[in-house]
Structure 1
Amino acid sequence: MKPIIKPNIKPTTRIMTLALGSLVCSVAINGFLRPLGLISSGITGLSIILNHISSINIGLIVFTLNIPLFILAYFKLKKEFVIYSLINMIMFSTMLGLTGNVYQYIGVDNVMLSALVGGALNGIGMGITFRGRGSQGGIDIVGAIIRKNWEISIGSALMLIDLAIIATGGYVFGIESFLYTLTALYIGYQFLDKVQATFDSKKSVMIISHKPKEIGTALMQEMNRAITYLKGEGGYTGNEKNIIYTIVNPREIPKIKKIVNEHDPNAFISVFETNEVRGYRFEERFI
């Protein structure tokens, strides 16, 4: 029996996820980082510098600088990713423009506190954005290309790219700004990778039971999960056994235990972390 494949995330849900990520990042930038001379990552950081020099609306600068990078993305990344990233970049640019004065309602004057909170919020916002399988454009696109071709974390890739930009920001805003920005970026990318890991987390489950067919059928029917029967042999008895193997979301573990207990209370269950899953029934990376 083949389990039914669930559809991908709905476009409206995806856009709402991207909008939430953009809003969180915009508040982090305009509420904590930019007012105290700290910059953000990538194109946004460069836009903060240009905004400081020229006083041009930061949202307009972000939009303009993203155009050549989206042309690159069109040829290098999946078209679906590029389309949703373009939608998100427009939302992000708009929110940056609209939240330009949000700092006056927050009023945090401590630079270190702003670096910590602003960096954390920015990382969370970027993580939510990548969860929506989009990006804010800019250097995120370069990071996505690096992630696709070299299998390193997005946070590590973007941190390397941003060094030149924050060095420029240090020259414009001063050495203290450079050091605090480093702190904010490090924290931000730690939160980005944590959010990514949390959403992508899976559990591998192995079940050894005297009733493997009953349990396997129940898992497919009640949980819509694909399973694999592995051949095993009892160490003491030498009897051949069918071992059930499946991969699930962490929140599904209690239900699996309940199903197994209903059919065989003495079954052996092993659950362990799985950092990455590809293939049948699991969505391919958005890049």
Structure 2
Amino acid sequence: MTRQELLYEIRDYVNITLGLMLYTFGFTVFLLPYEIVTGGISGVGAIVFYATKFPVQYTFFIINAILIIAALKILGWKFLTKTIYATFALTFFLEIAQGIVVQPDGHFYKLLGEGNDFMSLVLGCMITGTALAIVFLNNGSTGGTDIVAAVINKYHNISLGKALIIIDVCIIGSSMFISSFGPIQNRCQMVVFGLCTMVIECLMLDYVMYWQRQSVQFLIFSKKYQEIAHAIATSTDHTMTILDGHGYWTGKPTKVICLLAKKRESLHIFRLIKTIDPNAFVSQSSVIGVYGEGFDQIKVKVKKKKG
């Protein structure tokens, strides 16, 4: 492993840890005290906790351990190493956080007060959805249904948010059949709230991930195209295509740099261009999707040719 690869790995683990801490905050402060059902293995743990008082973190750990072993061959050690780390870390964070939000009488402290269940749901799911996106963007997973969603996403062009919705509907719907949650009206309300958590969390997950993965196309017209291309290549590791063109009025030949990059890199690229050639003509446009080396993988099935 090179020094740069090591730094990337360290950065991933730091960001995953921050994402897990954010998830723990949203889950234990805004969702658990109001007995809101969520999706995922945390949701399964919450349902078990509401019904039996069996700690959420232990249910979370046991189910994750089973799923990790089952998915090891499909996802590989590189993905699951971080998932194993996230499983232990989130179990630890949930243990600590619940000790903080529980009052001396054994009840959870409700930050927004009584009667603000839905507002707490919205805030909590916005936080947990953002946290999940942070973890996924850094090549990690919180385990549980994230593992199942990652398997689906690996072989099919289905977003992680959509995959999680399908799985979470089954988990949330199961609370309808648990009689210890009270009369049918209470269970219906719990399911409706659970569906709201699912939608908000998954929308936040897709929004944050799409925002981070947005790509742009640059067309750079400059006499100093070689210097600009060299500067971009050495500072961003992007490859470019040099197109041949000619001016309509002048008829003079010109070179055009065609570059695809992440949107977050735009400011850096503009600075490089302006430093080398302040008079360069630059066109920037958003693209729907970029697939290939350095970007997203092409996830479509191709029929095998019959030999």
TM-score by length of 1: 0.87
Corresponding residue of 2:31: 33
Distance 1:76 1:183 in 2: 31
Cα distance in 2 between the residues matched to 1:35 and 1:218? 53
Question: Sequence identity of aligned pairs in percent?
Answer: 26
Assess, with a 3 A threshold, how the Cα gap between structure 1 residues 59 and 241 changes in structure 2: closer, same or farther: same
Are 1:177 and 2:190 matched, yes or no?
Answer: yes
Superposition deviation, residue 192 in structure 1: 0.7
Aligned with 1:131 (options 129, 137, 140): 137
| Whole-angstrom distance in 1 between the partners of 2:220 and 2:6 | 28
Aligned length, in residue pairs = 281
5+ residue gaps in structure 1? none
Contact 1:29 / 1:40 at 8 angstroms: preserved in 2?
Answer: no
Q: State the distance in 2 between where 1:169 and 1:34 align.
A: 15
Using the alignment, how far apart are the partners of 2:276 and 2:135 within structure 1? 42
- Gap change, CA 1:224 and 1:171, over 3 Å in 2: same
Question: Residues 163 and 258 (structure 1 numbering): CA distance in 2 closer, same or farther, change over 3 Å?
Answer: closer
Greater length-normalized contact order (CA 8 Å, ≥ 6 residues apart)? 1
Deviation at 1:59, TM superposition (A): 0.6
8 Å Cα contact 1:25/1:125 also seen in 2? yes
Give the one of 69, 73, 76 matched to 1:75: 73
- For the 8 Å contact 1:200–1:276, the answer to whether it is kept is no
Secondary structure at 1:165 match in 2 = helix
Distance 2:141 2:296 in 1: 16
Counterpart in the other structure of 1:12:
10
Is the CA contact 1:22–1:91 (under 8 Å) kept in the aligned structure 2?
yes
Per the normalisation by structure 2, the TM-score is: 0.82
Deviates more, 1:101-110 or 1:170-179: 101-110
Counterpart of 1:95 in structure 2 is: 93
Q: 2:284 aligns with which of 268, 271, 281?
A: 271
In 1, Cα distance between equivalents of 2:246 and 2:122: 54
Which residue pairs with 1:117 in the alignment? 123
Aligned to 2:169: 163
* One-letter identity of the residue aligned with 2:255: N
Pick from 265, 269, 272 the counterpart of residue 256 of structure 1. Answer: 269
- Give the unaligned 5+ runs of structure 2: 102-107, 182-186, 300-307
Q: Evaluate the alpha carbon distance shift between residue 165 and residue 267 of structure 1 in structure 2; reply closer, same or farther with a 3 A threshold.
A: same
**Conserved 8 A contact 1:200-1:275:** no
* Residues 35 and 50, structure 2, Cα contact 8 Å, conserved in 1: no
8 Å contact from structure 1 (residues 203, 271) kept in 2: yes
